Structure 1
Amino acid sequence: MLERVTEDIKAAMKAKDKGRLDALRLLKSAFIENNTSAKPKADAEVAIAHVKKLKDSIEQFPAGSDEVAKIKKEIEYLAAYVPQPLSKEDFEAMVKEFVSSNPGADFGTVMKAITPQIKGRFDGREASQIVKTIVG
């Protein structure tokens, strides 16, 4: 994914798209930092974590400010590098399918099996609430 980001940086430079260029450079630095760490993660996890940080940082600024608009634009630019979000209905179907194929599965078993599949695609807190209502 690092090569793809590098190519996209070149394209953004040629197009003189400063917003996209800045967002991609930050993502590339996150990849490089990860690759030089003691325990590197998968590129997708790094991209997910970077976008999550951006989403969390929106709350630090007043609604409607220029900074919030800038961060939202960065998130749009980086959407192509993170897995597509999972709808609530798709998640519920995934949980129901797991529970039906594993009778007697409890909350912990379901969450342990489902979490890797939804990482970065569905909110963990909402996922646990849904699993609790389905499993009981």
Structure 2
Amino acid sequence: MGLKERITEDMKAAMRAKDSARLGTIRLLTAAIKQKEVDERIVTDDAQVQAIVEKMIKQRKDSITQFEAGGRQDLADNERAEMAVLSEYMPAAASEDEVRAEVAAAVAATGASGPQDMGRVMALVKQKLAGRADMTQVSALVKAALAKS
């Protein structure tokens, strides 16, 4: 079963269970998927759906930061709940050791010798860790690895 089908089945289950919070989040996700399909005149595959989920999670993180800065803990809690539902559709997160190993392998594979090679290394790492690691943290690790070179 593909990711889109799983999302549809989870939406049906949330309807049956009358879980309105979960249902609302899943409906937002299906709307974002349909929007991409209509805008680009494509049928999304699992990788594209995963990218949409990743983008929505990032939006929730940003919103949580803003709501907490504004003293709106109730809204931040709602965003956290949505983020938890969205996280179910992401692959298991890579451990920090796994990320470090991928960064080291990418540096070795590209023959990177300094900060000017950051783009090539990040492109390789992003292919392997897409959706499994926070790319801002990966970027910091790559920068640190290249500074040692």
**Does TM-score exceed 0.5, indicating one fold?**
yes
Aligned ranges for residues 1-136 of structure 1 at < 5 Å? 1-38=3-40, 42-62=48-68, 65-104=73-112, 106-136=117-147
CA contact (8 A) 2:112 2:121 kept: no
Q: Deviations over 1:86-108 (max 9, x none)?
A: 23221111111233344445333
In structure 1, give the amino acid aligned to 2:122. Answer: M
Name segments (4+ residues, structure 1) moved above 3 Å.
100-106
Deviates more, 1:52-61 or 1:16-25: 52-61
Unaligned runs of 5+ in 1: none
One-letter identity of the residue aligned with 1:68: A
How many Å separate the matches in 1 of 2:31 and 2:139? 32
Please tell me the root mean square deviation across aligned C-alpha atoms, in Å: 2.1
Q: Which moved more, 1:40-49 or 1:101-110?
A: 101-110
- What is the DSSP-based 3-state SS (H/G/I as helix, E as strand, rest coil) of the residue aligned with 1:81? coil
Contact conserved, 2:104 with 2:145, CA < 8 A, in 1? yes
Structure 2 residue runs of 5 or longer lacking an equivalent are: none
TM-score normalised per structure 2: 0.79
- Percent identical among aligned pairs is 32
